[in-house]
A and B are shown apart, each in its own frame.
Chain A
Amino acid sequence: MKILRNSALLLIVGFMAWMMIHLYGQYESRDALNPVAEYYAVNGPEETGAANLVTSIVVTYRGLDTLGEVTILFLTAAIIGLLLRTEKGSRKKSVRESSEFLSTASGILIPVITLIGIYIFMNGHLTPGGGFQGGAVLASSFILVLLAISNKRIGHRLLDYTEAISGISFILLGILGILLAGGFLDNRILPLGNFGTLFSAGAIPVIYSLIGLKVGAELSNVILELNQIQGEEEEL
């Protein structure tokens, strides 16, 4: 049995090595961008008005992909909520209080981290980062909130409403793009403005802020579910 397993492993490794050698032999470096990348690099800043080319591709040219990613994240959060959510009133929390260090330090850190998260998704069209990154930073500040203020109950409702409203507005903006401009999620429904300023690039800042709020609310919701099963175990 062991010989069989080892020989199978050896076969797989040998196959991988053969493929790698093959790939390496075929590789030739190019000194020019491929046509699609060249189109984005040349026409992107002019067409979308975004200083950060990555954002103009993610939100405008490949906006449908972004919608798919947001949907996947939404489904994941919803399934986790379905599996972990308990009946109302059955959870009583008796978690021990957080230490002095944690509560003092988090009082300073939470506003700063939240501000960084909001900055990242509001300036997605100017600086690196965007909705997903900013939302993840927001959720990591939410972990600190839960750790520091363990005795208070935090409602699902605010998170749920934030998520629902920003998700619906995201799709409505996309449909507005079909009606007023070139196509789904076209950013030219708002004026492009001056290149490189905060209120530029049409609808990109609005769309990315909505995505940021949605992702932040979804990830925070997942963490909140996990935190609440914690309280239950404590009670049993």
Chain B
Amino acid sequence: MIQIILLIVMAVIMLVMAFIAIHHKSLQVAVIASGIISLFASVIYIFLAAPDVAITEASIGSALTVGIFFYILNKIRHEDIKK
């Protein structure tokens, strides 16, 4: 029972984060929100007995993707300043 409640709470947090990622003004906040989605998704994968997928989601979704997005954001900002 408590597992189901936890799952529902995490799913709701993921939905809220997805909304923030789409509608927030600041791109940095949006990128971090998308990272949080992956983090909770990986916890849900562990609940659903898929630890392999959970490790992949945690390392790629919430570490690598966020890092790469920040590099690209930094680059775009520099181009804006130049113009």
In angstroms, Cα B63 to Cα A8, docked, is 38
B56, B67, B72, B82: the one within 8 Å of A143 (CB): B67
Q: For B74, what are the chain A residues with a Cβ–Cβ distance below 8 Å? A: 230
Q: Within 8 Å CB of A137, what residues of B?
A: 55, 59, 63
Contact A143 B63 (CB under 8 A): yes
Whether B68 and A234, one on each chain, are in contact in the complex, defined by CB atoms closer than 8 angstroms, is: no
Provide the A174-201 mask, 1 if CB < 8 A to any CB of B, else 0: 0000000000000000000000000000
Could you tell me if A129 and B55 are in contact, using CB atoms closer than 8 angstroms?
Answer: yes
Given A133-B52, A136-B60: A233 in contact with B75 (beta carbons within 8 A): yes
In the complex, what distance in Å separates the CA atom of A133 from the CA atom of B67?
17
Report how far A143 CA is from B79 CA in the complex, Å. 23
Q: Please report the C-alpha to C-alpha distance between residue A53 and residue B68 in the assembled complex, in whole angstroms.
A: 33
Q: How far apart sit A198 and B72, CA to CA, in the bound complex (Å)?
A: 41
Sorting the interface of chain B by its residue count into under 10, 10 to 19, 20 to 34 or 35 or more gives: 10 to 19
Near A by CB (< 8 A), chain B positions 35-83 give: 51-52, 54-56, 59-60, 63-64, 67-68, 71-72, 74-75, 78-79, 82
Query: Which A residues are in CB contact (< 8 Å) with B68?
Result: 222-223, 226
Q: Whole-angstrom distance from the CB of B40 to the nearest CB of chain A?
A: 18
Q: A85 vs B63: C-alpha distance in the bound complex, in angstroms?
A: 23
- A170 close to B (CB within 8 Å): no
What is the total of A-B residue contacts with beta carbons within 8 Å? 52
A143 to B60: give the CA distance in the assembly, Å. Answer: 12
Q: Is the CB of B71 within 8 A of A226?
A: yes
Report how far A223 CA is from B68 CA in the complex, Å: 7
The residues of A that contact B75 with a CB separation of less than 8 Å are 226, 229-230, 233
Residue of B at shortest CB range from A137?
Answer: B59
Tell me whether A14 is interfacial, beta carbon within 8 Å.
no
Grouping DSSP codes into helix (H, G, I), strand (E, B) and loop, the B interface class, with mixed when no group exceeds half, is helix
B52 pairs with A54, CB closer than 8 A: yes
Instruction: Give chain A's interface secondary structure class.
Output: helix
Chain A residues with Cβ below 8 Å from B54 are: 128
**Contact A132–B56 (Cβ < 8 Å):** yes
Chain A residue numbers with a CB within 8 Å of B64 are 136, 139-140, 143, 219, 223
B51 touches A226 (CB 8 A): no
Task: Check A133–B56 contact: CB distance below 8 A.
Answer: yes
Q: Are B55 and A128 in contact (CB under 8 A)?
A: yes
CB contacts (< 8 Å) of B79 on chain A: these are 233
In the assembled complex, A126 has its CB within 8 A of some CB on chain B: no
Cβ-closest 5 pairs across A and B: A128-B51, A140-B63, A136-B59, A233-B78, A226-B71
